Amino acid sequence: MSQTSAIPYGLPTERDAGPFAPPSELTRLRAVRPVSPLLFPDGHEGWLVTGYEAVRQLMADTRFSSRLDIGVLHVPYGTSDMPVATEPSPQIPGMFIAMDPPDHSRLRRRLTGAFTVKRMRTLEEHIADIVERQLDHLARLAPPADLVKEFALPVPSLVICELLGVPYADRETFQVNSAKFLVRDQSIEEKMAAYGAMMGYLAELVTRKRAEPGEDILSDLARHDDLTIEELTGAAFLLLLAGHETTANMLSLGTFALLEHPEQLAELRANPELLPGAVEELMRYLSVADIFYRYATEDIELCGETIGKGSTVVISLLAANHDPARFENPGTLDIRRTARGHLSFGHGVHQCLGQQLARIEMRAGFGGLLRRFPTLRLAVPAGEVKLRTDMNIYGVHELPVTWTAPAG
Ligand code: HEM
């Protein structure tokens, strides 16, 4: 491959253009070479894709594999506490986000079959209750409070409990363990212990659902004899992993973004019917799930570049969603724009399975927060909010907020 404009030092992650904009080096690269060679810190020569059209094409092309067991996962930035991979990771049964068709299709079909319209409607009612109860909890606190801990993390965790049919008695332990993967101040040993506890718990839950199915999605899946207990456990874990951190960071970073754009916030408060569009725009603008990986299973042409077989390809959804070739004034948060077509839920066979659910959660979450806390504001200067540039999913570590009027 030609190294003429390769980034020699891995992927830039520092948010030097502000907390909501892509790193300026990515913006520069997207303009000059939207499919760029990228030299990884471990010496691997791979690619970085930042242009909207190129990302869309790539994600629609299953010759770009999602499997972690066919190549070493080259991490495009220096790692702190994670050991560097030297060989491919084994496939985890049920973890179909890291599979290709036909294995992927078999498992995904089972799940989409369980996400029925009727079930989504029932879930919607439960989600509205979960949000109201969590807002009651927030209103009882003496401000300032951390919106991440008190609202944004618990809501999606409780929604996943509903989805999986986690009994009420287990929910507190479930929440504590699942939050441990997502916060910074846990050692790798603590994270591994939480992972072990969660997998053990889910395996037990799945076994119970198979013996005595209930009304939840997991029970629906457990009724299918062609899915093994290991596959069901892996699929349940995937729902937790994919649905918790993403939605939590959208709720907290989205609130931060609205508070930093008071005119947009005022417009949304005055016109609550703008909420669905505002959620799409926040999804585009923030792209909290930014970086994804694929492996080229053969030599593939992509927007004029030849990606060699075996290369690791790094995708930036954030850069793609801020591509001026697709969205006018992409750096402006505009809740009235049509943000449809954004790539924040991915594209192609792996496109987010939980997107309807995530939308329901965000509409309920932002809608409830704005209604119940009309004087919500940051409790620290914006520059002091700690950004999650060191995590897989972007967002804020904490969001100290305060309010004056008693919340109704
Ligand atoms: C896949 C984003 C919420 C379940 C994906 C992908 C993206 C994404 C970008 C594609 C991954 C790829 O192509 O490799 C998000 C964002 C969310 C969100 C930004 C919140 C705002 C959820 C929720 C659930 C969920 C609530 C379910 C509870 C999944 C699953 C996949 C997936 C199971 C894998 C689909 C497959 O491989 O076929 N998500 N997601 N997500 N998401 Fe979400």
pLDDT tens-digit series, residues 80-136: 556 677 888 888 999 999 999 999 999 999 999 888 888 888 899 999 999 999 999
Query: Distance between CA atoms of 247 and 395, rounded to whole angstroms?
Result: 10
Which residue among 246, 279, 316, 391 has the greatest number of ligand 1 atoms within 8 angstroms of its CB, and so is best to mutate? 246
Residue 4 has pLDDT above 70, yes or no: no
pLDDT digits (tens, 9 = 90+) for 334-344: 999 999 999 99
pTM of the predicted model, to two decimals?
A: 0.95
Do 366 and 393 meet the contact criterion of CB atoms below 8 Å apart? no
Query: Closest Cα to atom 34, ligand 1: which residue?
Result: 97
Q: Report CA(97)–ligand 1 centroid distance (Å).
A: 8
At 161 the pLDDT is 93
At 1 the pLDDT is 46
Ligand 1 pocket residue status of 344, Cβ below 6 Å: yes
Query: Distance between CA atoms of 194 and 345, rounded to whole angstroms?
Result: 27
Domains recognised in the chain with CATH numbers: 4-402 (1.10.630.10)
Q: Report CA(20)–ligand 1 centroid distance (Å).
A: 21
ipTM, interface predicted TM-score of the complex: 0.99
At 2 the pLDDT is 45
Give the strands of the sheet with 312-316, arranged side by side.
Answer: 35-39, 45-49, 312-316, 291-296, 64-65
Query: Closest Cα to atom 30, ligand 1: which residue?
Result: 353
At 275 the pLDDT is 98
Do 139 and 150 meet the contact criterion of CB atoms below 8 Å apart? no
Q: Report CA(242)–ligand 1 centroid distance (Å).
A: 5
At 360 the pLDDT is 96
Query: Distance between CA atoms of 284 and 22, rounded to whole angstroms?
Result: 12
Q: Report CA(346)–ligand 1 centroid distance (Å).
A: 8
Do 49 and 313 meet the contact criterion of CB atoms below 8 Å apart? yes
Query: Closest Cα to atom 10, ligand 1: which residue?
Result: 346
Ligand 1 pocket residue status of 345, Cβ below 6 Å: yes
pLDDT digits (tens, 9 = 90+) for 238-285: 999 899 999 999 999 999 999 999 999 999 999 999 999 999 999 999
| Nearest ligand 1 atom to alpha carbon 160 | 28
Ligand 1 pocket residue status of 399, Cβ below 6 Å: no
Query: Closest Cα to atom 22, ligand 1: which residue?
Result: 243
pLDDT digits (tens, 9 = 90+) for 130-189: 999 999 999 999 999 999 999 999 999 999 999 999 998 898 888 888 888 767 677 888
At 408 the pLDDT is 52
pLDDT digits (tens, 9 = 90+) for 7-51: 556 788 889 999 999 999 999 999 999 999 999 888 889 999 999
Q: Report CA(263)–ligand 1 centroid distance (Å).
A: 31
Ligand 1 pocket residue status of 357, Cβ below 6 Å: yes
Which residue among 164, 318, 352 has the greatest number of ligand 1 atoms within 8 angstroms of its CB, and so is best to mutate? 352
Q: Report CA(358)–ligand 1 centroid distance (Å).
A: 9
Contacts (Cβ under 8 Å, ≥6 apart) of 288: 246, 249, 250, 253, 344, 393, 394, 395
Ligand 1 pocket residue status of 289, Cβ below 6 Å: yes
Query: Closest Cα to atom 20, ligand 1: which residue?
Result: 247
Q: Report CA(362)–ligand 1 centroid distance (Å).
A: 14
